Amino acid sequence: MNSEWRRRFGNPDAVGGLVTIGVCLFLEWQTLELPATSAIFPQMVLGLASILGVLMIAQGLAKSRAGDAPLRFFKNRRRFLIACGMTGVYVAGINTIGFYTSTAILVPAVSVVFGYRKPLAIAISTAVFIAGMALIFGAAMNYQFPPELLLRLIRGTGHV
């Protein structure tokens, strides 16, 4: 592989932008199976994310031109792997214990793992985020998340 190409496109921002666009295209393809009214919001979000991916690539290329020294791809590989692991556990938890419960666990956990330790601010941001999701998906879009484990257990329909 050409070292000039590697220097320019090996930039973390350029790689991140390419990955973002690739994931967005894959997810956009998945929305084609949705009814048109249900697909509008995800397609808008994915379109915006794709545009931001293009901006990341442009920023990465500009950084590569500005400096001759190659940038380290990861500033902290361990934190990246922890974030990937937490995301995987969160996604698995949505169907297992419910969206709101998983989110109520994830937001504070991410905050604490990455060094933010103000309990009141964490509690407020968690509550605001969950309320925002409930308003957007529950009230505005009438989307039903998988039932919460606690509610299933109370009703006697939960399986652990």
At 68-87, the pLDDT tens digits run 555 666 677 888 889 889 98
Provide the pLDDT for residue 159: 56
CA 47 from chain centre, in angstroms, equals: 15
Contact yes or no for 74/49 (Cβ under 8 A): no
Where exactly are the structural domains of the chain? 1-73, 74-160
Average pLDDT over residues 103-121: 91
Least confident segment among 70-74, 82-86, 111-115, 152-156:
70-74
Q: What whole-number distance in Å separates Cα of residue 32 and Cα of residue 80?
A: 31
Contact yes or no for 73/10 (Cβ under 8 A): yes
The model's pTM is 0.60
pLDDT tens across 10-55, in order?
Answer: 678 888 889 999 999 999 998 888 888 878 888 899 999 999 999 9
Share of the chain above pLDDT 70, in %: 86
Provide the pLDDT for residue 8: 56
- The tokens for 94 are 């949505």
Average pLDDT over residues 138-154: 80
Q: Output the CA angle 15-18-22, nearest 5 degrees.
A: 140
**Closest CA relative to residue 93, chosen from 47, 149, 48:** 149
Q: Cβ-count burial of 140 within 10 angstroms (0-12 exposed, 13-18 middle, 19+ buried)?
A: exposed
